[in-house]
A and B are shown apart, each in its own frame.
Chain A
Amino acid sequence: MAKILSAGIQSLVEDLNGRAGYMDIGIAHSGFMDHYTGRLVNKVVGNELNEAGLEIAGGNFAIEFEEDSIIAYGGATIEGTLNDTPVEPYMAIAVHPGDVFALGRIAPTTKGFRQYLAIAGGMEAEEYLGSKATATYGNFGGYQGRSLKKDDVLCLGTITEKNKAHIGKKVKQEYIPEFSDTWVMRAIPGPDAAPDFITEEGMEEIFSTEYKAQMFCDRSGLRLKGPKPIWNPERANAGGHPSNITDHGYPGPGGVNISGDTLILFPAECPTSGGLICALSVIYVDQWMMGQIFPGRDKIKFSYCTQREAIALRKEQMAIFEGETCLE
């Protein structure tokens, strides 16, 4: 078992895949917002990639272990300590009864926003519709369907021989992404782009603007600040706001929704449908960045990509997690 001593802004039990297959009843996939770091930390402790782990937003977190375990953390540049001694991220470390693993406070200089803590064998959690991921909209899955609180107790999973063999292993430096306060995400135009909704010029503008993350950011959406989109004049004059269309399924995660004149990035727990356009879609391999955007501070840019390129990049990213490729 392990007890939460401090739960920070929002600490959630999540997994990699979430619950796919229920978007048609309004249930988002959910799961790790930063799927890349979530994979890395599970990989390094010797877990299955879909094992449940903790997603911790904004640091200020502490957990006390009451049994032997193996853990690894990664993500935002907030220092992790074991019994007040700094420990390396992206490395599998053994913990023993009485050990306290903690994450410091987030600072204006912090790069990234969320950290992921993998624990050997994962943890017990409410498995709902095939996943342990917490759904913060609807309050199911995870730890009683909610964010962790101080004094919550996690029942840890069973440590395997594989987990034990991973103690001391690290993620190779080349596979650890460099965090910054500017996130360049590759994106594909569509489903609702030029010429029908936004002009060519307007799309050029979206792909060349530096947007700023607003304070209003959560697991369902990250609002961006930037210029007003350049709407197709025919649509703008059709009555109603040009961003409004007949309700449709949202390509999420990944879609870039336009609500009125505001762009909203769609992360893991975005709405599954609605009546607004999605002008472009962040490609799968870059969607992890949405989990690392520092609200109110970070800048976001979209870099043009084709569907074909995106699929090739996806193959490359999946290869990183095959066997022990990314470990040393």
Chain B
Amino acid sequence: MGKFDPVLKRIPLREGCPEIVFRQAGDGFIEVVYGNNEASANKTIKDIILRSLRVIVINGKIKESKIPGLTETVPGGESLLYVFDPLKIEVDDLIDRITQIEMALPDVYDQVIETRVLHMPLTFEHSLIKKAIEKYVKEVNPDAFYCKDGSNLEYIAQYNGITVEELKQRFLETEWLVSMVGFFPGLPYYYPLNPASAITCPKYNPARTWTPEGAVDLADYCSTIFGVESSGGCQLIGRTVPIFQAKAVHSQFEKSPALFKPTDIIQFYEVSEQEIDDIYEKVSKGEWEYQTTKRVFSVQEWLAFYEEHEEEMKQLQKKQEMARKTVRQV
């Protein structure tokens, strides 16, 4: 091991499971990464979602096993961060415990997860989104060509070789699978279950200093929703309803201040700016009902669905490849 090589252990590639790499991360963290941190351009939505599902399943098993000295875990898209007290558990012991659990799970193909679909209203045009983009151009990057007329939609569409209308349609068409929650309070990261909606674009450079609550953004196939006002780096899509409430004025937030958890499925539907604003008003008074329906998510069934739409994905990829020859890179 080189002086600067942080890898503590590797579990070689197995059928249905990528290589697993244990990385040191300071004296109180270990990061377990599935695969080799390939650039997103070299991965498919299928790779990403299967890895994310593995993270979710392993995380559940780790929690059940209640390892002494392990204080918390943080799921990533293709990694699981272990937070531990090194005065209570030796690093090698923790690695052994994790390895045992990893070796007992060959693949995730047979997983059937009881979950729910959250139906989320979305407006593609909102004055606060426009404000965030204009503020960025004015205060951070006056040369941000991806911000045109207070919108990023035109750039995202161009980057994917499609029209803005088609972009909206693809965004609304698919269901999205939440893989993790993090960054700042409540923010879910989710990927399209329908590969024909695998839209991508680069992040801002440098990042925004302000993003409004409820902003929906996208980069590298991944979309997120802002739980609170904060900085942010992805291209803005629109605005949805509140998803984080520390004080639980609304009963939806009584069990957890965050609306989302990994394995939740999101389906967006389009509404107007006025409707979104009305919902903010209602939620702040504890009114408005978050629409959820129960769902059993079977990985096998999803893989079959994925295959059905693979051809459409390939057509989109062709458009994306063509577009990237002419569209400016960030």
The answer to whether B203 has its CB under 8 Å from any CB of chain A is: yes
Asked if A26 meets B6 with Cβ closer than 8 Å, knowing A260-B205, A273-B76, A314-B87, the reply is no
Asked if A138 meets B244 with Cβ closer than 8 Å, knowing A254-B28, A255-B26, the reply is yes
The answer to whether A158 has its CB under 8 Å from any CB of chain B is: no
Asked if A307 meets B27 with Cβ closer than 8 Å, knowing A240-B202, A272-B74, the reply is yes
Query: Which size bracket describes the interface of A in this complex?
Result: 35 or more
| A140 contacts across to B, CB distance below 8 A | 246-247, 257
Name A residues whose Cβ lies closer than 8 Å to a Cβ of B.
20-27, 128, 135, 137-140, 145, 188-198, 200, 203-204, 235, 238-241, 244-251, 254-255, 259-260, 262, 271-275, 278, 281-284, 304, 307, 310-311, 314-315, 318
Q: Which residue of B lies closest to A198 (CB)?
A: B4
The answer to whether B206 has its CB under 8 Å from any CB of chain A is: yes
Asked if A26 meets B187 with Cβ closer than 8 Å, knowing A248-B31, A249-B74, the reply is yes
Q: Which residue of B lies closest to A277 (CB)?
A: B37
Q: In the complex the two chains form, is B6's CB within 8 Å of A21's CB?
A: no
Distance in angstroms between the alpha carbons of A259 and B204 in the assembled complex: 11
CB contacts under 8 Å to A, within B225-251, are 227-228, 230, 233, 244, 246-247
How many residue pairs link A and B with beta carbons under 8 A? The number is 221
Contact of B25 among A139, A190, A239 (CB under 8 A): A190
Q: In the complex the two chains form, is B24's CB within 8 Å of A137's CB?
A: no
Q: In the complex the two chains form, is A240's CB within 8 Å of B37's CB?
A: no
The answer to whether B29 has its CB under 8 Å from any CB of chain A is: yes
Contact of A281 among B26, B79, B181, B261 (CB under 8 A): B26
Q: In the complex the two chains form, is A246's CB within 8 Å of B203's CB?
A: no
Q: Which residue of A lies closest to B29 (CB)?
A: A251
The answer to whether B220 has its CB under 8 Å from any CB of chain A is: yes
Q: In the complex the two chains form, is B41's CB within 8 Å of A239's CB?
A: yes
Asked if A248 meets B5 with Cβ closer than 8 Å, knowing A25-B257, A26-B227, A282-B26, the reply is no
Q: In the complex the two chains form, is A271's CB within 8 Å of B24's CB?
A: no
What total of chain B residues lie within 8 Å of the partner, measured CB to CB? 66
Q: In the complex the two chains form, is B74's CB within 8 Å of A240's CB?
A: no
B30 → chain A closest CB, angstroms: 8
The answer to whether B42 has its CB under 8 Å from any CB of chain A is: yes
Contact of B182 among A20, A249, A311 (CB under 8 A): A249
Contact of A259 among B2, B31, B77, B206 (CB under 8 A): B206
Q: In the complex the two chains form, is A271's CB within 8 Å of B29's CB?
A: no
Top 3 A-B pairs, shortest CB-CB distance:
A190-B6, A249-B74, A249-B81
Contact of B26 among A20, A21, A139, A284 (CB under 8 A): A284
B251 → chain A closest CB, angstroms: 18
Q: In the complex the two chains form, is A311's CB within 8 Å of B246's CB?
A: no
Q: Which residue of A lies closest to B51 (CB)?
A: A246
Distance in angstroms between the alpha carbons of A192 and B247 in the assembled complex: 37
Q: In the complex the two chains form, is B87's CB within 8 Å of A315's CB?
A: yes
Q: In the complex the two chains form, is B31's CB within 8 Å of A246's CB?
A: no
B248 → chain A closest CB, angstroms: 11
Give 18 CB contacts A-B under 8 Å.
A25-B257, A25-B261, A138-B246, A191-B23, A194-B2, A194-B5, A196-B37, A198-B4, A200-B2, A247-B76, A248-B78, A260-B205, A273-B74, A273-B182, A281-B29, A283-B26, A314-B86, A318-B87
Bitwise interface map of B from 1 to 40 toward A, beta carbon under 8 Å scored 1, else 0 = 0111110000000000000000111111101010011111
B215 → chain A closest CB, angstroms: 14
The answer to whether B91 has its CB under 8 Å from any CB of chain A is: yes
Asked if A25 meets B258 with Cβ closer than 8 Å, knowing A195-B5, A273-B182, the reply is yes
Distance in angstroms between the alpha carbons of A318 and B85 in the assembled complex: 12
Asked if A311 meets B86 with Cβ closer than 8 Å, knowing A27-B185, A247-B222, the reply is yes
